[in-house]
Structure formats: C-alpha cells, structure tokens
C-alpha cells in the first residue's frame, strides 16, 4: 500500500472554483478550503472538498493519486470510471478504474494524503 500526497492537487483544482460562483458559494469554499500553511484538515473535510470538485477535476485528483502510488500506477493513462465507496476506517474513499482495465481504491486521510491499493479486477462500470 502506497501513500500519495494529494493536497497540492486538491488546492490546484479548487483555486479556479474560488473565483467562480456567487458570494455564498465563495463563503462555503473558503470555509472548507485546504490550508497551505502546513496545518491538517480532517479526512472528512478533504473528502468533502474532493466530492465538491467538478467530475473532470475529481478524475484528475484520483488519477494523480494512482500515478503517484508507484510503478504499478505509472501505467495508468486515464481514469475511465470512478465511484465513491464506503468509508474505510472512517476515511472517505473512492474506487477508480484506469483505462477500463484495472480498479484502484483511494482512501483519503487526515494528513492530506491518500492510501492507494490496486490494481485489482474492475467491479464498477463506466
């Protein structure tokens, strides 16, 4: 099991969102924003942040976690399907399929990283 830091990917994906939308949305975004001063956010807050991303950016975050997981993740060229899964030890998780052929499980943790397991057989559909 490899751990991949995804905080920068979440911050980079969320920054354009802060500039969009109404003032109410901006207020909600800032209250759930990933901090960049080194302090941690809860796994639930990180999960909510990823859940709130547009589909393409959420795919990008999961893709980056898989690619950063090590040699077996390096072969992933694109996330072709994804679905939020049941929490693992209370931490939010997603199942993602790479290239329609291999499934990965990504578990978000409070230290702004992800535990990535896989590849395994595909159980979710595009």
Containing 48, the helix (H) or strand (E) segment is helix 43-52
Place of tokens 């302090």: 39
Contact 1, 117 (CB under 8 A): yes
Indicate whether 33 pLDDT > 80. Answer: no
Specify the pLDDT at position 37.
43
Query: What's the whole-number mean pLDDT along residues 50-67?
Result: 94
How far, in Å, CA of 2 to CA of 31, rounded? Answer: 30
Which contacts qualify for 81-87: CB closer than 8 Å, 24 or more apart? 81/122, 81/124, 81/125, 81/126, 82/58, 82/124, 83/124, 84/51
Name the residue among 16, 9, 7 with its Cα closest to residue 35: 7
Containing 95, the helix (H) or strand (E) segment is strand 91-98
Query: What's the whole-number mean pLDDT along residues 110-117?
Result: 86
Query: What's the whole-number mean pLDDT along residues 1-17?
Result: 45
Specify the pLDDT at position 126.
58
Q: What pTM was estimated for this model as a whole? A: 0.68
Query: What's the whole-number mean pLDDT along residues 50-70?
Result: 94
Give the start-to-end residue ranges of the domains of the chain.
2-120
Indicate whether 26 pLDDT > 80. Answer: no
């Amino acid at each position: 099991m490899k751990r991949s830091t995804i905080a920068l990917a979440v911050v980079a994906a969320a920054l354009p969102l802060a500039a969009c939308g109404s003032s109410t949305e901006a207020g909600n975004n800032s209250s759930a924003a990933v901090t960049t001063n080194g302090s941690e956010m809860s796994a639930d807050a990180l999960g909510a942040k990823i859940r709130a991303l547009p589909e393409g950016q959420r795919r990008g975050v999961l893709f980056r976690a898989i690619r950063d997981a090590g040699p077996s993740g390096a072969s992933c060229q694109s996330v072709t399907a994804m679905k939020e899964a049941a929490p693992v030890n209370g931490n939010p998780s997603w199942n993602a399929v790479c290239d329609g052929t291999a499934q990965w499980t990504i578990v978000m943790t409070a230290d702004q990283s992800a535990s990535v397991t896989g590849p395994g057989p595909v159980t979710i559909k595009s």
